[in-house]
Copies of this chain bind each other. A is one copy, B any other.
Amino acid sequence: MAVSSNVRFRDVVMRGHIIDSLALPKAWGVIMDLGGNFNVTELEIGRTKDDQSYVRMQVIAPDARTLNQIIGALLRLGATLPDEQDVVLRPVEVAGVLPDGFYSTTNLPTEVRVGGRWIPVEDIEMDVAIVVDAADRAALAGPTSVSMASTGTATPIRAFCLPMDEVVPSQQVVVGHQGIRVTPPERARGKEVFGFMQSSVSSEKVKTLVIQTIAHLMTQVRAEGGKILFVLGPAVIHTGAAKHIVSLIRRGYIQVIFGGNAILTHDVEAALFGTSLGIDLKTGEPVEGGNHHHLRAVNTIRRRGSIAAAIEQGVLKEGIAFEAYHHGVDMVLAGSVRDDGPMPEVITDTMKAQRRMRAALKGVEMAVMVATMLHSIATGNLLPATVKTVAVDINPAVVTKLADRGTHQAAGLVTDAELFLRELDAALTLLESQEVAAKAAKAAAEAGIQSARRQAAATSMKS
């Protein structure tokens, strides 16, 4: 922080839904917890739910180090400095190693101040670095750790996220807290879709209402052209719920699927043998020798070389992967150390898998994570806070972990994978039929109007 060592007070400003989001009282708590104090010099509280609030306060600390800590914490809560300066940049010296003091991101919308202008950080995700780049690299050059305040040119400047292992020498990385602006999350107020799901993770809730809300949200996201991601664990297959995923894919509700070797293996096992982990999906009974079906399924696909080849050769004729192939769903499968095989599609290098997942997340506006902890946490790490996220698992610990992302866009549901997907499928069907009926009614009404008009026209012509 560029705070001179004998400064012990500083003005900060917070604006937005700082009451609803609890950002303001949290800020006050943080100041005092860290041993500081404050004077509120201006306070304006939004009157309506769309109004924003505004507070300006002077933060006081016993020493510069404490002040620094407090300011850092307040910036993460969305505070800004009225006397803000540009971000401080330092170059990467060794590939895969960040400069000391690097700023690590939150998953909230973030801007950095470069050359006096606020630039949004692209592809925001949690716990990565921010790289600032310019077409004219010279614009960013200069002595280590100087600000870019002098950049008055029209050089297009970009700021984007990079994980530690991807930075390369000479890239300019943001360090410290200066020149960074984070937009705090807003609490949904009133009847907004996630409103009633926020309160807490509970197994004692009216699930069908929640599921109808999710269905409604999905249709909204799709209507606006957003992509929907499903993260799927193998229990989706074991519980016989694959048919609902198939139905959702066919009807255009899934654009991206994340998972691991298990979901694909059991999906293929079900398609080839009618079993999942050796249990007959029609009768629920174990099939003799069935405990090796999953290995045979993997071997069969490995022999063909890929899922695509197996489909084209007529070996694989149904299931989630089959539908995903035919409907252009982007299926990214990340390997794990417990995998058997694995399937050729599985990305065994976990860092490569992360990169593929990041790429597939472009345009994703909603994520539904069902019955998988590993892949859901991995996905959660990569998602911006603005993506609407639903975590479904029968284990409350998993749901709590996933839903607790410091954002009001995440909702958790402790329930059964199969019954959840069955209800979701049904709820979407209902919404569609209502829409069709509404359209038909509208068309009929319009037809009626036109007919009336024609009649009127005819009549007027007559007269």
Does A337 contact B338, Cβ atoms closer than 8 Å? no
Does B350 contact A199, Cβ atoms closer than 8 Å? no
Residue of B at shortest CB range from A73? B288
Question: Given A203-B235, A284-B210, A295-B164, does the pair A351, B338 have CB atoms closer than 8 Å?
Answer: no
Docked complex Cα distance between A353 and B336 (Å): 9
Residues of chain B within 8 A of A240, CB atoms compared: 206-209
Does B418 contact A208, Cβ atoms closer than 8 Å? yes
Docked complex Cα distance between A13 and B24 (Å): 20
A396 interface hit (Cβ, 8 Å): yes
- Contact bitstring A370-386, B, C-beta under 8 A = 1, else 0: 00011101100100000
A190 interface hit (Cβ, 8 Å): yes
Residue of B at shortest CB range from A299? B98
Docked complex Cα distance between A208 and B164 (Å): 35
CB distance from A375 to the nearest CB of B (A): 7
A9 interface hit (Cβ, 8 Å): no
CB distance from A378 to the nearest CB of B (A): 4
Q: A interface, by DSSP: helix, strand, loop or mixed?
A: mixed
* Contact of A33 (CB < 8 Å), options: B40, B163, B189, B282: B189
Residues of chain B within 8 A of A336, CB atoms compared: 336-337, 350, 374, 378
Docked complex Cα distance between A396 and B201 (Å): 13
Docked complex Cα distance between A415 and B207 (Å): 12
Residues of chain B within 8 A of A394, CB atoms compared: 203, 394, 414-416
Does A165 contact B238, Cβ atoms closer than 8 Å? no
* Contact of A423 (CB < 8 Å), options: B70, B353, B419: B419
Docked complex Cα distance between A335 and B335 (Å): 10
CB distance from A285 to the nearest CB of B (A): 5
Residues of chain B within 8 A of A284, CB atoms compared: 196-197, 205-206, 209-210, 213
Question: Given A33-B190, A374-B374, does the pair A416, B235 have CB atoms closer than 8 Å?
Answer: no
Residue with the highest number of chain B CB atoms closer than 10 Å, among A37, A38, A341, A419: A419
Among the 9-residue stretches A42-50, A306-314, A432-440, the one with 4 or more Cβ atoms under 8 Å from chain B is A42-50
Does B40 contact A29, Cβ atoms closer than 8 Å? no
CB distance from A22 to the nearest CB of B (A): 6
Docked complex Cα distance between A288 and B235 (Å): 39
* Contact of A281 (CB < 8 Å), options: B127, B197, B206: B206
Does A239 contact B204, Cβ atoms closer than 8 Å? yes
Chain A, 224-241, CB within 8 A of any chain B CB: 234-235, 238-240
A219 interface hit (Cβ, 8 Å): no
Docked complex Cα distance between A102 and B296 (Å): 8
* Contact of A203 (CB < 8 Å), options: B29, B30, B303, B416: B416
A302 interface hit (Cβ, 8 Å): yes
A143 interface hit (Cβ, 8 Å): no
Does A288 contact B34, Cβ atoms closer than 8 Å? yes
Residues of chain B within 8 A of A199, CB atoms compared: 286
A134 interface hit (Cβ, 8 Å): no
Does B25 contact A29, Cβ atoms closer than 8 Å? no
Does B377 contact A338, Cβ atoms closer than 8 Å? yes
Given A19-B25, A339-B351, 20 more A-B residue pairs with CB atoms under 8 Å apart are A20-B25, A22-B22, A25-B25, A40-B43, A43-B43, A72-B288, A73-B288, A104-B292, A196-B285, A197-B284, A206-B238, A207-B239, A207-B419, A209-B284, A335-B351, A336-B378, A338-B378, A349-B350, A373-B373, A422-B423
List, sorted by A's number, 14 A–B pairs whose CB atoms are closer than 8 Å: A22-B25, A28-B45, A33-B189, A97-B303, A164-B295, A204-B234, A205-B239, A208-B422, A335-B350, A337-B350, A337-B354, A337-B357, A342-B350, A394-B416
